[in-house]
Amino acid sequence: MAYNVYSLPDCKSLLYHPDVGTANLHQCGMGKIVVSAAGDLTSHTTTADGYIVVNKLKTTNGTITLEVPQNSIGDDFLRRWARSVLDLITSLSGDELRSIMTSCLNHVSVLLPAGPNPVMTGSEWGYPELKHDMVSCMKLVLEEIALVLEGFFGEGGGHAPPTDATTSNY
């Protein structure tokens, strides 16, 4: 898995959200930004003489991790952002939240030894073990929302067929 680490004082980075404002991470003091790919994507091709050729594929997904000092500008920004997200979720009615979760979970599969299994089909649970696991369900919903919104911020978006990015191990 490839990754790059940058110290906050060594790079100019800015966090912005319309409801929260702006935070200049350069002014946070010590901390770091870690950019890592989701994994090494490869495809394997067998040649006519039986050799296997490993081809590296371009990956467009991964993780950016921010480590900021407690009580810094970055910490304050991230806490205000998290509060705004929680306020948005808690402002939804039960029916609105259920509708969003059902819509998202209809596009998510759980990877089992026998193969991918849909989490939900319509309003029915295809994987009932998640029915009472709100934390895992919300994580899957947020991953699906991020996948759909990816089309606005980069390549892809929409409803792609299940891949490592859309199939979670729960």
H helix and E strand count, the chain: 3, 12
Beta bridge partners of 142: none
Mean pLDDT of the chain: 79
Pick the more confident residue, 94 or 148.
94
How long a stretch of residues is the chain?
170
Q: What is the pLDDT of residues 134-144, one digit of tens each?
A: 888 888 888 88
Give the per-residue pLDDT at 40: 67
Determine contact, residues 120/144, Cβ cutoff 8 Å. no
Residue 170: per-residue pLDDT: 42
Residues 135 and 130: their CA atoms lie apart, in Å, by: 9
| Stretch 60-68: mean pLDDT | 78
Q: For the chain, what are the domain ranges? A: 1-67, 92-170
Note the pLDDT of residue 151: 57
Residue 159 has pLDDT above 60, yes or no: no
* 5 pLDDT above the threshold of 80: no
pLDDT of residue 2: 55
130 Cβ contact partners less than 8 Å away, ≥ 6 residues apart = 110, 119, 136, 137, 140, 170
